[in-house]
Structures are given as structure tokens and as C-alpha cells.
Amino acid sequence: MLLMKPNCEHCDTDLPSESNDAMICSYECTFCVDCVSDVLDNVCPNCGGGFNKRPTRPSREWCKGVSTAHQPPSSERVLKPVDIEAHLHFAAEVKRVKPRKR
């Protein structure tokens, strides 16, 4: 099950389940859309992968036993601000490869 972190790991902005701004990599590293485009250049600092928009977990029990009430998003904030200088060097190489080819 997808681990839905409550905030951007870089700038700490809130990213609730219904947020339209939450982006994740395949390892569930979670950043806001502004950080992904302006700081990370669509390169995850932890794995080098690209990001996609995080889905919203339904808040209503459309299907039995399945909703944010049954499987709540994580409330544990993760904050690991990116070393901007180091990431520039890292991303310069990685971003030459399209996310689907990394």
C-alpha cells in the first residue's frame, strides 16, 4: 500500500491525500510540485528516478473497508531538505536520461 507522507520532504509544505500538488517517485519519496520542477528538476535526490503525481485515496468508503478512514495517510512528517549544490551536480547527469529510461 502506498505510503502517503503528509508533507514535502524539502520545503515541508502540507500535502494531504486530496492535495493536487503531491508528487512521488517509485520509492514514495514525496515532494510538492514546485520543488519537483524548481529545485529537483524531476530528479529524485534519493534514487535518481522521476516523479509522477500522487493519487488521492478516497475519503469515502466506495468499496467496503477501503478509504482514508480505514487506511489513513501517514501522519509522520519526513523532512530531509535537499543540498541544492550537490543536487545540481547529481541532477545534471541524471536528467540527460528520460525518466522512463533511467
Interface positions with Zn ion (CB under 5 A): 8, 10-11, 25, 27, 29, 32, 35, 44, 46-47
Q: Which three cell numbers stand for residue 59?
A: 475519503
CB of 80 to Zn ion, least distance (A): 11
CB of 30 to Zn ion, least distance (A): 9
**Is the CB of 29 or the CB of 94 nearer to Zn ion?**
29
Element (H, E) at 53: strand 52-53
Q: Which three cell numbers stand for residue 93?
A: 547527469
Tell me phi and psi for residue 53, to 5 degrees: -65, 135
**Is the CB of 58 or the CB of 99 nearer to Zn ion?**
99
